[in-house]
Structure 1
């Protein structure tokens, strides 16, 4: 991705100026804050900030650091910007009014950037520094009064296997991994999806899900269903009834979710299973595995049925596709 995409590093500045440069960068991109670090003479940090339309995704790497947003730094003209952070390596201890929570890898936390708080970022056990993702957005973008979201300031929102929060965490990691592949139009669409998931996480924590617009609730529900399907592709019983029951939806509502995306539930399951089978068939480490075992691994009970579906999708049988890919790997470079 190009355009509104900024990458910076303190290593482009003299060692003695690096902490001041980081302080300036954070003030320009968020709000003024102060820093304390025991690496002041070797402060190696980097940031990449990507504009996704409704939100900004930031990717940070930095050493152990204490971030301080003191009461004296706040003013009535401060922008209303909220920030959800996701540590990937290291952890952050968030403090406010003598209360604290610790956000480790895979666990989301929420900050009202303008309000007083302190965050102590701790490197991992190997001393490799901290890596974190953050999504920033104006409070005005939320589909309910922003002052309600402010109630979550300096709290941990969980993650891991915790429903919609886990979905947002996984979504942010996926976006960061593929951000260079986005066109400007892709970036705006991904930003909209991200904001819907952010709104759903906040509303769920505030018990305000009913206040979300119908479109936002549907988008969050759709993303949850996709994640459920992805994690259950190997189950032969995976189908609309099981999916609807797992998400407390009627079959009609489930089918409507997919119809709004121009898809069908069964068609999406079939597509994802075939893609997993294609991946296994070209994997040299699985060359010994029979085609029928590959099919069964991804939920196809009937090998003949799988062969017909695969041939219709790829244009050749699974066995022929595997041989074709094996020959392609053996062919010398440049030879057609």
Structure 2
């Protein structure tokens, strides 16, 4: 498991909730003056996930106005960039005369060394926040700060890669080990750097290793989007990214992978999910194979058996058997948990 903590105001007396939320966000990012229309009974929920020097924190909270004043900057400055991926609600931010509004799946960027004012809409908002040290962003200092106040889309391009990674990471951290935290932090750092560089049209200024890691992430995203193409060859992947096949091979070698093995693993992993999905049990196995780039069922069966030790039909049979057993258990538990007078109210 990754280092993770949860904070919720609901566990506190109503009169203490807003002050506690203010202190929590001050620790998470930097000291700020907060105000809200809901101070009498404030509702806020935050998970804090530690990734080495990087912190990721999904949160949902009531209306809020954040003010970081020049005085607060002078008193305490952790020198961190903050990114918020807006998942629900709306908001706006201002830096002096500059003001920017944000939509769902936009990134908002601020910097603890600059004063700002941010306000959310009247309804609760959900964000995925990221705190990343200024020193970790591999761009010239003057250039990196140019992203502050820009609206960066999380729906396309480099922003979509970062958004997808954050959504996947925060949706379920159970599959990661504590040792993965620093590695994931480096991935987030590289993606944030690449997103900043793209927004500033400064990609040539990236360090070669950072550029290479960002390119690998783009290639992997391309592969996952085109797994159904049976002609997804290294040549086609390289051409789509305007690089040579030999350079593509070197990129994957640095990851301890081959291009072919990555494509195969992704195809088989997706096919496996379809085979065990209850909603797809009527979909023929050959159709699942074709869906993930195996037009010849025999090729799919051989590759699947080599990877998992059983055939696709055997896996599906096992999944159906488990579903039947689990369903029986659920029915028993449902009966046990039903109040004695439940039927009398219907």
Same fold, TM exceeding 0.5?
yes
Unaligned runs of 5+ in 1: none
Give 1:81-230 correspondences, 5 Å limit: 81-122=80-121, 127=123, 129-161=124-156, 163-230=157-224
Among residues 289, 299, 322, which one is paired with 2:316 in the alignment? 322
Give me the whole-angstrom Cα distance separating, in 1, the residues matched to 2:2 and 2:303.
Answer: 39
Q: State the 1:287 CA deviation.
A: 2.4
Give me the whole-angstrom Cα distance separating, in 2, the residues matched to 1:230 and 1:175.
Answer: 17
Give me the whole-angstrom Cα distance separating, in 2, the residues matched to 1:246 and 1:175.
Answer: 27
Give me the whole-angstrom Cα distance separating, in 2, the residues matched to 1:198 and 1:298.
Answer: 31
- Name the SS for the 1:184 alignment partner: coil
Give 1:262-273 correspondences, 5 Å limit: 262-273=256-267
- Name the SS for the 2:173 alignment partner: helix
Partner of 2:78: 79
Q: State the 1:303 CA deviation.
A: 1.8
Alpha-carbon displacement from aligned partner over 1:133-180 (angstroms, at most 9, x marks no partner): 11111111122333321222222122202x111100111111112334
Q: Is the 8 A contact 2:18 2:41 kept in 1?
A: no
Q: State the 1:77 CA deviation.
A: 5.5
How many residues get paired?
A: 328
Residue 68 and residue 321 in structure 1: after superposition, are their counterparts in 2 closer, same or farther (change >3 A)? same
Give me the whole-angstrom Cα distance separating, in 2, the residues matched to 1:276 and 1:181.
Answer: 17
Among residues 281, 292, 308, which one is paired with 2:275 in the alignment? 281
Give me the whole-angstrom Cα distance separating, in 1, the residues matched to 2:129 and 2:145.
Answer: 17
Q: Is the 8 A contact 1:54 1:195 kept in 2?
A: no
Q: State the 1:307 CA deviation.
A: 1.9
- Name the SS for the 2:5 alignment partner: strand
Give me the whole-angstrom Cα distance separating, in 2, the residues matched to 1:268 and 1:74.
Answer: 46
Among residues 243, 249, 256, which one is paired with 1:249 in the alignment? 243
Q: State the 1:195 CA deviation.
A: 0.5
TM-score, normalisation: structure 2: 0.88
Q: State the 1:76 CA deviation.
A: 7.1
- Name the SS for the 1:75 alignment partner: helix
Among residues 284, 293, 300, which one is paired with 1:290 in the alignment? 284
User: CA-atom RMSD, angstroms?
Assistant: 2.1
Give me the whole-angstrom Cα distance separating, in 2, the residues matched to 1:159 and 1:236.
Answer: 29
Residue 296 and residue 28 in structure 1: after superposition, are their counterparts in 2 closer, same or farther (change >3 A)? closer
Residue 11 and residue 324 in structure 1: after superposition, are their counterparts in 2 closer, same or farther (change >3 A)? closer
Partner of 1:305: 299
Partner of 1:10: 9
Q: Is the 8 A contact 2:84 2:127 kept in 1?
A: yes
Q: State the 1:117 CA deviation.
A: 1.1
Give me the whole-angstrom Cα distance separating, in 1, the residues matched to 2:194 and 2:316.
Answer: 43
Q: State the 1:18 CA deviation.
A: 2.3
Give me the whole-angstrom Cα distance separating, in 1, the residues matched to 2:267 and 2:2.
Answer: 33
Q: State the 1:2 CA deviation.
A: 5.8
Unaligned runs of 5+ in 2: 330-346
- Name the SS for the 1:131 alignment partner: strand
Partner of 1:233: 227
Give me the whole-angstrom Cα distance separating, in 1, the residues matched to 2:212 and 2:31.
Answer: 37
Q: Is the 8 A contact 1:94 1:155 kept in 2?
A: no
Q: Is the 8 A contact 2:73 2:112 kept in 1?
A: no
Give me the whole-angstrom Cα distance separating, in 2, the residues matched to 1:73 and 1:236.
Answer: 57
